[in-house]
Amino acid sequence: MRAYVLKHYGGPEGSQLMDVPAPAPRPRDILVGVRAAGLNPVDFKFRQGKLRAILRPKLPLVLGNELAGEVIAVGSDVKRFRVGDRVFARVGKDRAGAFAEQACVDEDDATHMPRNLDFTTAAAVPLAALTALQALRDELAVKPGQKVFISGGAGGVGTFAIQIAKWLGAHVTTTASPRGEALVRSLGCDEVIDYTAQDISKTAARFDAGFDLIGGKTLDQMFEIMKPGTKIVSIAALPEPQTAIKDLGGRRALSAMFWIISYGIRSRARRAGISYRFLFMHPSGSDLARLAELIEQGKLKVIVDKAYPFAKISEALAYVESGRAKGKVVVTMS
């Protein structure tokens, strides 16, 4: 089968499309004939080697973290799926493998696709939508009537985050360029700050919860607009000790390293009287099933910026890395 394989860390030259043996399902696996796969910043960061402290799989490795397709075989212990089922999934962190014509997925990480989506659109959902749901519902515990600030609302995670925050009953403010403002407003955003012309910290509003998708200067400015005693969750800045404990299997040595590298951000948060958490989302078939319900009910739209043929996956990754995408980028298999 054809797959996009990471042979060595670094630039795009370290990965290539090549023929590899098809994977064999373990007892709790479903084997999926992949019809489309979603692309995310984590894909090029992994290729660059920026996640080696967290994930150290043996190379060569088939890349890719989310997919949609049809079940073509099931392991001996699988209970929830049959051959022919249309499924989508965020594959396990230790496995990857979505950028291929076939991929194995633990049945607990997959669920049935929304009936009103095609494969291309469904492949854009799992990683970004799960990230937004777990950040807003579980980590920030967003409640009706709260004011939520989301940076970078026009991106892949942001487009889901706006809608999920509104579903949870929040008043939502986000940042966007003039090019992205119409999109975020169409998703229900209440207030939009033009980050190309405005300093976020100068806004008069104060927020009950913050979801940082940008990091850097944007995160620094977010510390100034949160109410005392509130919380910011980031997926773009530096991981802190709880990331290793809660999201990465309780790895104490990694927790100590994260304590050191995040000291500056955590100190900044303490001075502002708020808490800071970096989230490394987890695959969840049950959470995906909830998202599928919201999609089928028309409460969650999926925004696909571009779909590329699998043969042009390097070009697709370069577009994701450019930061210009509004919504998600997907590759489709022939």
The beta strand positions in 86-125, using DSSP E, are: 86-90, 102-106, 110-112
* Amino acid 213: pLDDT: 97
* pLDDT above 90: residue 251: no
Average pLDDT over residues 47-59: 81
Cβ neighbours of residue 74 under 8 Å, at least 6 residues apart? 25, 29, 30, 31, 81, 82, 83, 107
The rounded mean pLDDT for the chain is 95
Percent of the chain residues topping a pLDDT of 90:
88
Q: Read off the pLDDT of residues 125-143 as tens digits, 9 standing for 90 and up.
A: 999 999 999 999 999 999 9
15-37 pLDDT tens trace:
999 999 999 999 999 999 999 99
pLDDT score recorded for residue 58:
85
pLDDT in tens, 312-331: 999 999 999 998 899 999 99
Please report the domains of the chain, with CATH numbers, ordered by start residue: 2-125+302-332 (3.90.180.10), 128-278 (3.40.50.720)
- How high is the pLDDT of residue 94? 83
Average of per-residue pLDDT across 173-195: 96
Report strand pairing: 2-6 vs 61-62: antiparallel
Q: What is the pLDDT of residue 95?
A: 87
* CA nearest neighbour of 285 among 109, 113, 137, 138: 109
Work out the average pLDDT over 210-229: 96
Chain center to CA of 15: 21
Query: What is the rounded CA–CA span in Å between residue 233 and residue 239?
Result: 10
Tens of pLDDT, residue by residue over 3-16, are: 999 999 998 999 99
pLDDT at residue 271, as a whole number = 95
- Confidence band, pLDDT 50/70/90 cuts, at residue 55: confident
Give the DSSP letter of residue 95.
T
Residue 52 has pLDDT above 90, yes or no: no
With beta carbons less than 8 A apart as the criterion, state whether 303 and 326 touch: yes
In our burial notation (b when 16+ CB lie closer than 10 A, e otherwise), range 257-284 reads ebeeebeebbeebeebebbbbbbbbbbb
Token pair in block for residue 292: 């599928």
Instruction: Report the pLDDT value the prediction gives residue 102, as an integer from 0 to 100.
Output: 98
In three-state secondary structure terms, 238 is coil
